[in-house]
Amino acid sequence: MAQGAANKKKNAVSTFFEALGKGFKEIGVTFTEGDFKTKLSFIILGLGPILRGQILIGVTLLLCEVLFIYFMTGFGWQYLSKLSTLGTVATKKVGRKTVYGDNSFLILLFGVLCIFAILAFIAIWYINVKENRKEELRLREGKKLPTNGEVFHSLFDKNFHKTLLAIPVTGIFVFTVLPIVFMILVAFTNYDKNHQSPTNLFTWVGLENFKNLVSFTGAGIGPTFLQVLAWTLVWALFATFTNYFLGMAVAMLINKKGIKFKKLWRTILVLTIAVPQFVSLLYVMKMFANDGLINGYLIKWGIIDSYIPFWTDPMLARITIIVVNIWIGIPYMMLIATGLLMNIPEDLYESARIDGANPWQMFRSITLPYMLFVTGPFLLTQFTGNLNNFNVIYLLTQGKPQSVNLAEKAGNTDLLITWLYKMTVNDTNYRMAAVIGIMVFIVTAVISLVVYNMLPSVKDEEGFQ
Amino acid sequence: MKSYKTKRAVGNILGYILLILISIIWLFPFVGLVLQSFRSYATEYGGMVDYLVPKAFSLDNYKFLFDTSQTNYLLWYKNTIVIALFVSLFQTLMQLCVSYALSRMRFTGRTFLMRFWLILGMFPGFLTMICLYFLLKQFGLTQAGAIPGLILVSVASSGMGYYVCKGYFDTIPKALDEAAMIDGATRARIFFTMVIPMSKPIIIYTALVAFMAPWCDYVFASYVAFGHDTSYNVAVGMTRWVWTNDYQGYFTRFCAGGVLVAIPVTLLFMFLQKYYVEGVTGGAVKG
């Protein structure tokens, strides 16, 4: 098995290099065999297509080149050239005037953008080479090239995906890919509250932040990181499975024969999905507060003498969060389970009943295996979603109660994600926030990958069919 | 036979008791919210109290919300509606486009794109908050321009959430497309005149989910609109009431504001519940 995987990996690597080699060979062949139009196109993009009458393709390619050169000379180069140092000229005060120096933030951001622009340009250049080759071969075979009208028309037919995906892909690139690459790079700098641009410069520090994360001595935040990580995992585990099983139980209860007003019960539960969470969770938070409704009534009725510290005792706060999360999560699972439970053929239960099975046995050997099989991927996404469940934690406790034993102002109920948020917003400790973000990614990715490959529905797609 | 019947009756009674208990627990916070919102501000102030039913009912808190000289609540409300409508519209369009391309067309880079987006989705969203903030700032879309900025950010990356919609498209038989293509219809025509009309449930689901999200958006909204009261949405504005101004008696005002937010959203949700259930169930099974 392991060897198989290794072979597969080797194959992937070798196919990659084969493809790369083939690409280079094609470029070479295109150049040597090409006519002057093709050869000129190597420098002036799109010239070949324009001369062959493919105005639409040619002009687009040429426009890309012009834009690229304009971008790099007019804007990009000043940032790209400083990327290795992130700026050297500090902002100074001359008399009463502030003379701004280099802005490390913008240098890093636009430097990354430039690198992407260069990569994109290389890709466009390669497309240009391939286009020339394709046209030449077609003409040599005596075939006609498609007219401009046909090329345009294909954008709504054969190439409709290019039209559809153009805006989404650009949007995701600018607002997701670029920021993520930027933040990953921030993890290797000393960008924090003492190095805020534009007043101060920040610079590359290599792996220092990661060393800080796993250092258990002195000012290292290793112990805090481990505790927050452990609570994050425990929380996700509890939040996912309590909701899963209790939600299923409630769904079965409502589905039960002989229970009337099914729709009413469901509607009552679904209210927690419908009402915006910041309203319901903030109210529940106040309900459980030390001077809140619950403590108030319990004291009034003489059940307790002094208030129960729902949010201020670390252990109790964690339990309360999980309980409140059940309140939030059951309806969601109930909706999903209701539909799925009805899909289980009734005759399975019928024959089990004839064989003398009791309800618990039927649940164990019919309902549960079916549900686990069908909802495996859903459980996984729920789990990873709970790892990053910001709303519940932040609206209920904001990560409190604080602890003196934890570094970087982490609280006892902080998840990695709320901790990251606090570092960013309250402390402007961007470098450590970036490191934590990368850790969240690693945890999510590893768990997803491992669990996904263990899922029965992935291993055996045909089961239960 | 008789014992079976009684057993079943007992089971049902237990079931009802359980359901009634559950209903009480589930409804309690909402009942509390509504009752507190009617508490008289003049006689009992607006802070936290240890009783549920107010001693005197009044509309003080609601009057406060509508008094533009004292609070920007109405403005926040308007901001949120604007954001929700635009996000809902454009996000649905984006997801339909992406879903159709990925479900129906086969092109080089398709699987790469899907895997790449899956991996991107594993990065926590808040990681990129500062970067997005400064990006928006370059275009003047923070503080005063926070509303269009928030819409832009929510819409721009929404193509990645195509899973449920694509799953639905996958269930529409491909034979229909092929038949239409033989009749000379282009891909674009198939998309607009065939697939979209057939996808009403999933369009409603996507639009509904997209519409509801901005009502809860506290994190990024508070960051982008920081310090600029008129650019807040209801979540940002009212959360601040609860966290910072409790002692001034903003608690009952928060309750009243919460009721006003919850009513339209809840009604809309209940009205379209059927589609929501269809969407989440389909999404859960396909993963």
What ipTM does this complex have? Answer: 0.87
Residue B248 has pLDDT above 80, yes or no: no
Q: b vs e for B117-147, b when ≥16 Cβ sit within 10 Å of the residue's Cβ? A: beeebbbbbbbbbbbbbbbbeeeebbbebbb
Note whether A240 and A301 are same-domain residues.
Answer: yes
- In terms of residue numbers, what domain contains A298? 222-459
Note whether A202 and A239 are same-domain residues.
Answer: no
pTM: 0.86
What is the enclosing helix (H) or strand (E) of A92?
A: strand A92-94
Flag if B277 and A295 touch (Cβ within 8 Å): no
Q: Which residues pair with B57 in a beta bridge?
A: B39
- CA–CA gap between residue A116 and residue A362 (Å, rounded): 57
Per-chain mean pLDDT for chain B: 86
Q: Does any domain span residue A9?
A: no
What is the pLDDT averaged over residues B19-48? 85
Q: In chain A, what residues touch B128 (CB-CB under 8 Å)? A: 176, 179-180, 182-183
pLDDT digits (tens, 9 = 90+) for B179-234: 998 988 888 999 998 889 989 989 999 999 999 988 888 888 888 888 888 888 88
Give the start-to-end residue ranges of the domains of chain B: 2-64, 71-244
What is the pLDDT averaged over residues B121-150? 86
CB atoms under 10 Å from CB of A167, counted, come to 17
Closest residue in chain A to residue B262, using alpha carbons only = A275
Query: Which pairs with CB-CB distance under 8 Å and at least 24 residues apart come from B195-201?
Result: B195/B100, B195/B104, B195/B169, B196/B96, B198/B172, B199/B96, B199/B165, B199/B168, B199/B169, B199/B172, B201/B168, B201/B275, B201/B278, B201/B279
Q: Does any domain span residue A2?
A: no
CA A324 to chain B, closest CA, distance in angstroms equals: 11
Within an 8 Å CB–CB cutoff, is residue A270 touching chain B?
yes
CA distances to A134, A196, A197 from A188, in Å: 44, 15, 16
Q: Which of A381 and B287 is assigned the larger pLDDT?
A: A381
CATH number of the domain bearing residue A270: 1.10.3720.10
Residue B249 has pLDDT above 50, yes or no: yes
Q: Does any domain span residue A234?
A: yes
Residue where the block lists tokens 């359901």: B19
Out of B158, B273, B283, closest to residue A270 by CB: B273
Sequence letter at residue B263: I
Note whether A323 and A368 are same-domain residues.
Answer: yes
3 state DSSP class of A189: strand
Note whether A277 and A200 are same-domain residues.
Answer: no
Among A206, A239, A274, the domain boundary falls at A206
The confidence score (pLDDT) of residue B90 equals: 95
Note whether A290 and A173 are same-domain residues.
Answer: no
- CA–CA gap between residue B65 and residue B141 (Å, rounded): 27
Q: Suggest the residue from A197, A270, A280, A282 to mutate for an interface test with chain B (most B CBs closer than 10 A).
A: A282
Among A180, A206, A232, the domain boundary falls at A206
The confidence score (pLDDT) of residue A2 equals: 46
Flag if B187 and A157 touch (Cβ within 8 Å): yes
pLDDT digits (tens, 9 = 90+) for B42-73: 777 777 777 778 888 888 888 888 888 888 89
**Angle at alpha carbon of residue A422, lines to B134 and A187, rounded to 5°:** 60
Flag if B188 and A395 touch (Cβ within 8 Å): no
Flag if B15 and A276 touch (Cβ within 8 Å): no
3 state DSSP class of A199: coil
In this structure, what are the phi and psi dihedrals at residue A204, rounded to the nearest 5 degrees?
-70, 140
Number of domain units in chain A:
2
- CA–CA gap between residue A93 and residue A99 (Å, rounded): 6
pLDDT digits (tens, 9 = 90+) for B89-103: 999 999 999 999 998
Flag if B285 and A388 touch (Cβ within 8 Å): no
| Segments of chain A with pLDDT less than 50 | 1-2, 465
The confidence score (pLDDT) of residue A220 equals: 72
The confidence score (pLDDT) of residue A457 equals: 66
Q: Does any domain span residue A153?
A: yes
CA distances to A6, A69, A389, B11, B271 from A447, in Å: 21, 44, 16, 41, 38
Contacts of A93 (CB under 8 A, 6+ apart): A99
Closest residue in chain A to residue B264, using alpha carbons only = A275
CA A99 to chain centre: 40
- CA–CA gap between residue A88 and residue A202 (Å, rounded): 9
Percent of chain A predicted with pLDDT > 90: 20
Domain B71-244 class, CATH top level: mainly alpha
Q: Does any domain span residue A216?
A: no
Flag if A277 and B216 touch (Cβ within 8 Å): yes
**Angle at alpha carbon of residue A360, lines to A261 and B287, rounded to 5°:** 70
Note whether A194 and A110 are same-domain residues.
Answer: yes
DSSP chain B: -HHHHHHHHHHHHHHHHHHHHHHHHHHHHHHHHHHHHTB-HHHH-SS--S-SS-SSB--HHHHHHH-TTT--HHHHHHHHHHHHHHHHHHHHHHHHHHHHHHHH---TTHHHHHHHHHHHTTS-GGGGHHHHHHHHHHTT-SGGGHHHHHHHHHHHTGGGG-HHHHHHHHHS-HHHHHHHHHTT--HHHHIIIIIHHHTHHHHHHHHHHHHHHHHH--HHHHHHTTT-GGG--HHHHHHHHHHH-GGGT-HHHHHHHHHHHHHHHHHHHHHTHHHHHHHHHHHHHH-
Note whether A186 and A268 are same-domain residues.
Answer: no
The confidence score (pLDDT) of residue A1 equals: 41
Note whether A264 and A303 are same-domain residues.
Answer: yes
Q: Does any domain span residue A3?
A: no
Residue where the block lists tokens 């939600």: A247
Within an 8 Å CB–CB cutoff, is residue A95 touching chain B?
no
Within an 8 Å CB–CB cutoff, is residue B114 touching chain A?
no
The structure tokens listed for A194 are 């003492």
Are A297 and B50 in contact by the 8 Å Cβ rule? The answer is yes
* B251-271 helix and B200-216 helix, angle to the nearest 10 degrees: 170
Contacts of B128 (CB under 8 A, 6+ apart): A176, A179, A180, A182, A183
Among A206, A241, A266, the domain boundary falls at A206
In this structure, what are the phi and psi dihedrals at residue A402, rounded to the nearest 5 degrees?
-70, 155
Residue B87 has pLDDT above 90, yes or no: yes
- CA–CA gap between residue A464 and residue A369 (Å, rounded): 10
Residue B2's pLDDT band (cuts 50, 70, 90): low
Are B134 and B160 in contact by the 8 Å Cβ rule? The answer is no
